[in-house]
Amino acid sequence: MIDSSHLPLMDIALAEARAALATGDVPIGAVVIGPDSKVLATGRNEREAHGDPTAHAELVAIRGAARALRDAERGDSWRLEDCTLVVTLEPCAMCAGAIVLARIPRVVFGAWDGKAGAVGSVFDILREPRLNHWVEVYPGVKEAECAALLTDFFRARRHT
């Protein structure tokens, strides 16, 4: 069930996704919300922009959130406990692993990724019972809008 409080957060992630288009990156955006419901960090795909295969939107946002907590002089700053990650596309295995390791308790995402999704489509890393941390998952938030952004991007690439 979609929580209406997730809608404005997905709007922030969608704005980041659109910004990725300027560098030719796949339009995926993310935002990490802190325990006080304020934005800790945003991220967008930057693989093309930086030539970094790990520069997925989720990892950019997670790194920024950990930095923000460290700069606020909070202990254990790498643990993003009580935070929420909002992302326009279902996280892949790499990003799902980072979510578990960062101890993020909630993930909200837009479109499903039937080819590489690791939150229920292909794998379900975030709810793997053998891991030491499990995550609440809220899928399908603004799903059509998130999916259309990706579909339009790949359609344009095939025709150029």
Q: Which residues are catalytic?
A: 58
Cβ-contact 57, 17 below 8 angstroms: yes
Phi/psi region, residue 136 (left: phi>0; alpha: psi -120 to 50; beta: rest), is beta
Consult the annotation and say whether 83 binds a ligand: no
Q: How far apart are CA 25 and CA 23, in angstroms?
A: 5
Consult the annotation and say whether 50 binds a ligand: no
Consult the annotation and say whether 56 binds a ligand: yes
What is the β-pairing status of strands 39-44 and 136-138? unpaired
Residue ranges for the known binding site for Zn(2+) are 56, 92, 95
Residue ranges for the known binding site are 56, 92, 95
